[in-house]
Structures are given as C-alpha cells and as structure tokens.
Structure 1
Amino acid sequence: MEGPAPVSTPDLLYSDVESDLRATLRNVLSDHCAPSSLVARADGDEPYDMSLWRTLSAELGLAGLPVPERLGGQGVSSRETALVLEELGRSVAPVPFLGSAVLTTSVLLRADTAAEHVAALLRRLATGEATGALAVPLSTAPEAAFPTTVRAVAGPDGVVLDGTITTVADASVADVLVVPAVGPDGQGLYEVDTGHSGVDITEVVSFDLTRRVSDVTIRQAPARPLAEGQEAVTALRQGLLMAAGLLASEQVGVTQWCLDTTVAYVQERHQFGRPVGSFQALKHRLADVWLELVAARAAARYAADVLAGPDPFGSDSDVEVAVAVAQSYCATVAVHAAEETIQLHGGIGMTWEHPAHLYLKRAKADQLALGTPGRHRARLAEVVDLPVS
C-alpha cells in the first residue's frame, strides 16, 4: 500500500545567484535612488526615472527575468523577480517595474506564448524595447470578476476598443497596454499602442508619489487580440495572483528600509545625554517591527517559492494559500513599519524633505493594491474552508 506523496520543503533562503543579483542591483540603485533625490524627483516634472528603467530593463535584463530565453528573456524563476521587487521596495525606485515586468508580463506568460502576437509582445517587454501596463485598476484583486468597462467591436480593419479604465499603474510611461475587454464573442485580452490618437492617458492624484496611476480612455483604438474566452479569463486571474504574491516582497523591502533607517537614527539622536535608542520603550517598539519583518520575509519568500514551482497553478499547488497569507500579512507589516519610522524620527520624520513619507505612501498604496488585506484574509478563509461570519 502506497503512503502519501512526500511534501517538499519550501526553500526560504536566498541562493548564491539571488545574493549576487541583490549586490548588483543595490549598487545600481545606490547611484540612482539616493533618498534626497527621491523627494526632489517626486516634486518635479519627471516623477519616473526612465534612465534607471532603461538600465534595469535593457542593460541588466531585469524586465524579462521570468520570460523564456526563446522570447528574449532570462528564463529564471519568480524568486529572482521577487528579489528585484524587494530591492526596489527598499529604495522606492520610481520605475515601472511592477506595471510592466510584473503585471503585464505575468498575464502574458499565462496566455498562449506560442501565439504570434503574445510572443512578439513578450519579446519587446523582455528586452526593454517597450514598456507595458496592464489596463486594470491597481486595486483589482486576483479573484475579481473579469472587467467589463471596455468593449471590443469590429472595425473596418479589425477589432477596435472603447471604454475607460481608472487608476492604472505605470500607464503614463507605457508604450503598450494589455487591455481586458468584452465583445460579441465574450472576454478577451487585447494589445493597444498608447501612441494612437484614440488613447488618452491622464495621470490622477496618486497617494504614492513614486508610482503613479492614470485614468485611461480608449476611443475607437485598433487592438490586436492576445487571448480569448476562458484563456483570457484564466490568464488575467493567474497573472494578478502571481503579481499579488510577488508584491509581498516589495513590502518586505519597504519594511527593511524603515527598520534599518530608524535603528540608525535612534543610535545617533541623543536626549538627556544618551542615545534615544537606549530607552526601553523604543527598544520594544523596534523589536516588534523586527519580529514582524522576520515573519513577513518568510511569508513573502514562501509565496515566491511556490510561484517558482514547475506547476504553480496546478491542483496540488499551495499558491492560493501562499499568496493570501503573504499579502494579508506583509501589507500590514509594511504600513506599521513606516508609521513607526515617522514617529520615532520625531519632528524631522514629519517633514517633506525627509524620505520617510515616501515609504509610508508606498506602503499604504501597496496595502490597497491587488486586493486589501481583509479581502485576502476572506479569500484565505474560503480556500481553507473556514467559516466566515
């Protein structure tokens, strides 16, 4: 009689390759994302650092990490993408990595990559030739219903799209949009060039100054079909689920910066003739953040490890549980760490010149992105059959 199948042990540690990638990326970011420059850029006319984005996407090849080599990518796993997000979160780098290399690419990878249009678009994104954006509100949860705000109709030379999508992440610097739309034949995913006159992208007031959101209006814009029917629905849902799981690593990076910066500050700031970090009350608050960070890192690493598996969305996969746990926990931890950073920095932490507010805004925006913690907890209860009152 055969026993139960062996359960593989998750690998939560960083590999040598991941550690080398971290060192390289941290060197690049230290040259481009000094805290003082972030605040100045957020106030300027060019909130995104497109020079840094070209370095990351085209020169280092980070835009195509999970894309197969035959399509111009690196052919590595989601673990490396998670590592990059962790470092980008640590520096709140103003680049469209989430919108292009995570959201858009994840959805396309869950479609038929052998299809001509899908393969061609993936190659452009992976090589840094183009920057993409997934035309759904940033708050869209993975299990949300397929969007219906855009309609696909037959035009004189093919399919054209009409509709409006609000709060799309990184759309203002995108060359191409992947748009979920509904037409006479049902749901579909379509490629739309942002340079067409029928596409209007307007930045709206964004809480996160280092990641902008825009309202996108499409009027009779020509579109290329990428996926149709159930394939489109599945690709969108699985792509959003993958992005939500990877976003947890960015939240870990935000938490790490907040803890490191605050510990360094309380060691230097003196009051009553001694470092304020020697006061027991502050020690306890920072110890709480450290404990939360350790647990958040474990949750985020587990989600990345599951998503890197050979069949992450198979019937035996733990992906739903892993993503729900990571997002519901890491989002809350990042906000708490950023709040503690501002409070424990005292008066300077409340100033516009100090970058702490950028981390609080990134943490709070991430808490609302791709499903709130409450929504992920409700999904977790559903997946593991817990009663919900």
Structure 2
Amino acid sequence: MEFIPGPDAEELRGVVRGFLEKRSSEAEVRRLMETETGYDPAVWRQAAEELGLQGLIIPERWGGSEASLVELGVVLEEMGRALFCAPFFGTVVLAANTLLCLGDEAANEAYLPGIAAGTTVATLAWGGANPLASTITASRDGGTWQLTGSAELVLDAAGASLILVLAATPDGLGVFAVADAASAAGLTRSPLTPLDSTRKLAALEFDGTPATAVGTPGAVLDQLRVALDQAVVALGCEQLGGAARVLEMSVEYANTRVQFGRKIGSFQAIKHRCADMLVEVESARSAAYYGAWAAVHEPDDLALAASLAGSVCSEAYTKVTLDNIQNHGGIGFTWEHPAHLYLKRAKSTQLFLGTPSTHRTRLATLLDIPEVLA
C-alpha cells in the first residue's frame, strides 16, 4: 500500500511547477502583494483555460477533469512552494469542493461551470471560529432566504463573485449562496490588512442579504464535515510545499555561504538544524499524503487523517520557516529576502481551519485518548 501520488499526479506536478516558475516568480509575488486584487486575472484565466486547474476536481459534465484530492493536493503543494498569488484555495478547495460534497445538482449546474472556466471567483464564509457553529443566521422571507451577521476573516472574499455562507437556521446549519456578490443587497465587504500579504482577506457584513439555499438547511452537517476535513488535508499539502521549498533554500545557502574559510553547511549547528528540518518536512509529507489518500480510498478514516495533517503540517511549516531564517543569519531577517514571506504564510495558515491544538484535541477524541494525554 503506497500513499504517495502516482505517475499521473507526478506528471501533473511537473506541468504545474513549470507554469508557476514562469508565472509566480518571487518578483511577481512581490508585485501582486501590493495590488488591490492580489492576483493577475490573465494568469488566472490561463490556469483555467490551458491547465484546467480550477476545474481539476469538478466532474466533466460541468467542465472539469473529475480528478481526486490526490491530484489537487499535488497542485496545492506546488502552489505552496511558489506562494502562488491567486484566489485558488477559496475558489476550488473551499467553494467548489463544498458544492461537490453537498451534492445539490441545481447548485452545481449553476455555479461549477463558471468556476471550472475561471470566470467565477468564489469562497466560503462563516461567523466565529468554528465553521460548523457559524454565528451568521438565515431566516425565510416568503420564498427567499435572508442572511444576517458577520464573518470576520474570509479568504479570497474581496473579489469573489460567489460567496457560500454557513448560517444557522431554525432547522440547523445550512449553506447559502450569495451570487453576484458585488451587487448583493445588504452585503458589505471590508478589505483587511493580513499578516500574509500574498493572500487577501476581508470582513463581511450581512444585513438582510438575499441568498439561495444549497442543499437542505439542517441536513448538511455530515457533508460539511467531510468538506472541511478535505480542506484541512488540502491546506496540509500546501503547507508541505512551502516547507519543502524552505528546506531547499536552507540547504542551497548552507552549500554556498562561506565563513571562516568554510561553507557554513560544514558547521555542526547548521547541519544538525537542516537535518531536523528534513525530519519535519518528511513528517508533514507523510501526514499530507496519507490524508489525501484516505479521502479517496478510505473515507471512513478521513476525520482522523485530517486531524493528523492539520496538526503535523502546520507545526512543521512554522518550525522550518523559523529555522530557515536562523540558517540565513542576518540576511534572513531582511525584507529583501523571501524567508519572511514563507514564515508569514506558515503562521497565517497555522490559524486557518483550526489550530494544531484544536486538531490534536479532536484526534485524541477520535482515538479515545484521555484529554489529559492529548
């Protein structure tokens, strides 16, 4: 039994890496960080039209390739490696994947073709820290639903034309689509200044905003748990890509920087730190690859695999980015060096979709381990 991606996925990796080397260089990342939208629409369209990345997991009847989380994980790994500036995670991992898990044919027919074609930017929003206990409320007004409440930190929301909202109803949690979000009544978007400038965040305020139910309110909890677990695994794959690139940076620098007449990689402190970084990266690789494999082949184990990936990958990424700065010495602390960009991405993703301690607590519950030991 092998959890590593197969030859088809590795071939996809090569194509995506080549694309990102041309379209997501460090200079381009820094340029897009300073823009209002945070991405290049021409590159976004190229990713959809020439590579089919936005439609990777979308079924063919809606314009996609019908690939699995394994292939999506490889793509996200490469995007994390390049710090790709685009609303890909919000659009594909959060929005499209949630739509697919809910299985609402009418909603999928309405929204997925636009996502696959690269014409729709989408995201998923909720109020509070726990998506499954969203503080946003939805109430019926005749034949329509209206949303009330706020979402404090929403990824890729600034330019999203489709916003899926998790909201509480009298029957339980529901998912509601706000289409044509740019002109939606009662919706206010406030761009935020994030720690990680390579991604755009916004706060959303809903004040009687009209929305359409996706699935049946009160009967979507199980599907949402699956969607969120898959998103945690996908985030772990992205974190793995960044961590692996940071390790490469440290090794390259250790083999070229000379001090006291010797390459610094020959110093015990540096070589031992690089070895520890390798252990962290390979641990993250095992957790992320197993999570993607479990989502496809052993869905009953997905919750456990996602909790493991959410804990291991987040902490590994943060640790190796800090070690990378130490290995680079004074230059590693400068704005001009990319080390801080990876550290900021690591710290921001460590808090997204649950902290490592949250995932460990859930893992302990799933394994029936006493809380004192978790």
Q: What TM bracket, shorter-length normalisation? A: over 0.9
Does 1:254 pair with 2:242?
A: yes
In 1: Cα distance, 2:126 partner to 2:148 partner: 14
TM-score, normalised on structure 2? Answer: 0.94
In 2: Cα distance, 1:218 partner to 1:36 partner: 37
In 2: Cα distance, 1:377 partner to 1:326 partner: 10
SS of the residue 1:171 aligns to: coil
SS of the residue 1:217 aligns to: strand
Name 2:83's counterpart in structure 1: 92
In 2: Cα distance, 1:58 partner to 1:158 partner: 35
2:354 aligned partner, one-letter code: G
**Is contact 2:333–2:340 with CA below 8 Å preserved after alignment?**
yes
Pick one of 124, 142, 160 that aligns with 1:174: 160
Give the CA deviation at 1:242: 0.8
Does 1:343 pair with 2:330?
A: no
Pick one of 232, 239, 252 that aligns with 2:227: 239
Pick one of 102, 123, 131 that aligns with 2:121: 131
Write the deviation string for residues 151-178 of structure 1: whole angstroms up to 9, x where unpaired. 33315x6222222111001101211100
Name 2:138's counterpart in structure 1: 151
Unaligned runs of 5+ in 2: none
Give the CA deviation at 1:186: 4.0
Name 1:6's counterpart in structure 2: none
Name 2:279's counterpart in structure 1: 291
Give the CA deviation at 1:79: 0.2
2:190 aligned partner, one-letter code: T
**Is contact 1:58–1:129 with CA below 8 Å preserved after alignment?**
no
Name 1:122's counterpart in structure 2: 112
Write the deviation string for residues 48-106 of structure 1: whole angstroms up to 9, x where unpaired. 23332222233311112222112221111110010011000001111111111001112
Give the CA deviation at 1:185: 4.6
Q: Which runs of 4+ in 1 moved over 6 A?
A: none
In 2: Cα distance, 1:212 partner to 1:338 partner: 21
Name 1:362's counterpart in structure 2: 345
In 2: Cα distance, 1:153 partner to 1:205 partner: 34
Write the deviation string for residues 105-130 of structure 1: whole angstroms up to 9, x where unpaired. 1211111243x123321222222221
In 1: Cα distance, 2:108 partner to 2:174 partner: 13
Larger RCO of the pair (alpha carbons < 8 Å, separation 6+): 1
RMSD: 1.8
Name 1:67's counterpart in structure 2: 58
Cα separation, partners in 2 of 1:57 and 1:201, compared to 1, 3 Å = farther
Matches within 5 A, 1:18-37: 18-37=9-28
The count of residues paired between Structure 1 and Structure 2 equals: 370
**Is contact 1:110–1:234 with CA below 8 Å preserved after alignment?**
no
1:357 aligned partner, one-letter code: H
Pick one of 209, 214, 227 that aligns with 2:202: 214
